[in-house]
Amino acid sequence: MKLYDYPASANCFKVRLLLALLDRPYERVPVDIFAGESSTAAYLAKNPAGRTPLVELPSGETVAESNAILLYLGEGTRFVPEGLEERARVWAWLFFEQNLFEPNVGTARFWRLTGRDAGRHEEWESRRLAGIGALEALERGLTGREWLVGDAPTVADIALYAYAHVAHEAGIEMAPYGSVAGWLARVQAEPGFVNDLVSYPAGARAGSASGSVHDRAS
């Protein structure tokens, strides 16, 4: 199995994290989204949306979109519940992550770290405030609970951990979120946990690529 990914993308990191927790071997294929490698004809033939991460199976079939990959890899493991109701709750958190959490926390973080917040402070602040709202929802969801669904970690926890643990890099003060802090520590204590998320390179600074490049990492 091959994983096409970009090392500074938290969407890609979530897939690497699950693979580490599962102790599952794979071949990692770096894709430089700033150099346009996700927009080549060869890559678009694998994923028409031109996004990372992307899993290519030994059969040649591919699975795109980070949370779909988590569900695929987690099927039949402890990270995807068997019961339909619990599975539906996992799906709900995955939709929440991609619709409300990642687009705001992730984008605010990306703009801040690459200097793309300069000159459009109001737009950046709007993303940051929306990210705070998403963190407040996550805090409520974790209050009185160790995990988002059931009594053990699922792919929902892995998906939300990816951007939640770096939300401070989006200009968000994390002190008010005690339940989130405890949950982050529990994820990090899982056997096999790794954090190989790297910083954006110097070439990712504003002016080197369009502001929409963040969307190349799903």
Q: Are 154 and 80 in contact (CB under 8 A)?
A: yes
pLDDT at 206 exceeding the cut of 70: no
Q: Quote the mean pLDDT of the chain.
A: 93
How many C-beta neighbours within 10 Å does residue 185 have?
10
Q: What pTM does this model have?
A: 0.93
Q: From edge to edge, which strands make up the β-sheet containing 2-5?
A: 27-30, 2-5, 54-56, 62-64
pLDDT at 100 exceeding the cut of 50: yes
Q: Across-strand partners of 63?
A: 55
Q: Are strands 27-30 and 2-5 parallel, antiparallel or unpaired?
A: parallel
Q: Are 37 and 54 in contact (CB under 8 A)?
A: no
Q: How far apart are CA 63 and CA 69, in angstroms?
A: 6
Q: Which residue has the higher pLDDT, 217 or 145?
A: 145
How many C-beta neighbours within 10 Å does residue 166 have?
18
pLDDT tens, residue by residue, 134-148: 999 999 999 999 999
Q: How far apart are CA 54 and CA 188, in angstroms?
A: 24
pLDDT at 209 exceeding the cut of 50: no
Q: Are 16 and 8 in contact (CB under 8 A)?
A: no
Query: Which domains can be identified in the chain, with CATH numbers?
Result: 2-77+196-216 (3.40.30.10), 84-188 (1.20.1050.10)
CA dihedral 200, 202, 208, 210 (to 10 degrees): 10
